[in-house]
Amino acid sequence: MSQRTYGDAPWRIWMPAVTIPEQHEEHLHVLLWQVCGDTDLVVDGGGRTLTAGHALWIPVGVRHEFTVQTNSVTMPLFFEAADTATTLTEPTLVTVDRDLQTLMLAYTVSWNTIIKPTPNLARQILALIEESPVLSAVLPMPSSEPARTIAEALRFNPGDIRGVDKLAESVHTSVRTVERTFLAETGMTLRQWRIRNRMEAAAILLRSNAAPDAVAHRVGYTNANAFRRVFKSHFGISPTEYLDRYRAQP
């Protein structure tokens, strides 16, 4: 069977340059992924070139225009601003490694097809691209495997929806072993540790001026009222009061 290869015949394909005039999204953050070739951009009045293997985060409301050069592919990914809590408040250049590429492809598929993975892909993408990741520095960490692997996964994505059984399965151990190790090495059950991790992450996001409902979604709560109750129990004040108090600081 013969096999066609196109790498030695660049004349076989031709994609003309495309210019997108100045615009801004009123309800969406945009992540422009340069799949191949180059794109020339003007973002907030400043020019830059986006090269293959990189992506540019453009926050909601930021004015931008760009030209995708000949034989280049730029893929935009969109994130609903009202549902997206992030520490990314300025245009941010990101290097696309293998993990991020896989997540962005899956995210694009989920937006455009009926294939919609249950895990929240946006949370994982944000965790990889944030300059100031949402990681609590005050939580005690278990010292032994596999509990530490679970703790690192939950620090990476506080909104991880997996139950204890699935987390234990992911590191090939039993729920009983995981629970015993967390209690012995952190002084907390896994459930207690997970709630504290989510609340510390929520506080970091609120200090980045994220909306409380979006923060609730980011740290794994589908019910915003439930998030508010847990947050107030942890910090003594509501998320809105916490946000207002932080804004009032000089």
Give 131-170 pLDDT, tens digit per residue: 777 777 779 999 999 999 999 999 999 999 999 999 999 9
Q: How many C-beta atoms surround the C-beta of residue 209 within 10 A?
A: 12
* Euclidean distance between CA atoms 85 and 134, whole angstroms: 10
Q: Which residue's structure tokens are 């009045």?
A: 45
As separate numbers, helices (DSSP H) first and strands (DSSP E) second, the chain gives 9, 8
Domain annotation for the chain: domains and CATH numbers: 17-129 (2.60.120.280), 147-248 (1.10.10.60)
* Euclidean distance between CA atoms 78 and 57, whole angstroms: 10
Encoded amino acid at 54, one letter: H
- pLDDT at residue 2 is higher than 60: no
DSSP assignment of 44-100: TTEEEEEETTEEEEE-TT--EEEEEPTT-EEEEEEEEGGG---S--S-EEEE--HHH
Q: Is the pTM of this model over 0.85?
A: yes
